[in-house]
Amino acid sequence: MAAKRPEELHKLFVKAFNAGDLEGLVALYEPEAALATAEGAARGSAALREAYRGFLAPGAAIRLETLSALECGDLALLQGRWVLEGTERAPARREGRNTEVARRQASGDWLFLIDVPNPPGG
């Protein structure tokens, strides 16, 4: 699973999430990436793994629409809209907007660096 363009990260995220593939989700992030959570921020692969573990309940499904992808050199700003349904941890249906910073790796693939799944005012 590799994103050749920043916006492909959203498609790969949906595929891994809906398959319940925790390791596939974590692989979309740089090893020291940060994910905004209700408790603050999850930083690094182990913390990301733990943060996503509770959302990958059987039957959980996410839809994600990319609203914009703006590249500047090896960085990209992504914005999207998501709907999450059928989780045990969250209400049956939850929706919001997301903002991420992605970085092009030496291989040319893109990975998430900063992920804010529900930014203030979003």
State pLDDT tens for residues 31-86.
Answer: 999 999 988 899 999 999 999 987 787 778 899 999 999 999 999 999 999 998 87
pLDDT for the residue 118? 84
Domains and CATH numbers, the chain: 8-116 (3.10.450.50)
- Give the mean model confidence (pLDDT) for residues 77-101: 84
Per-residue burial over 74-98, b if 16 or more Cβ lie within 10 Å, else e, is: eebebbbebebeebeeeeeeeeebb
The pTM is what?
A: 0.90
Of residues 90 and 34, more confidence is placed in: 34
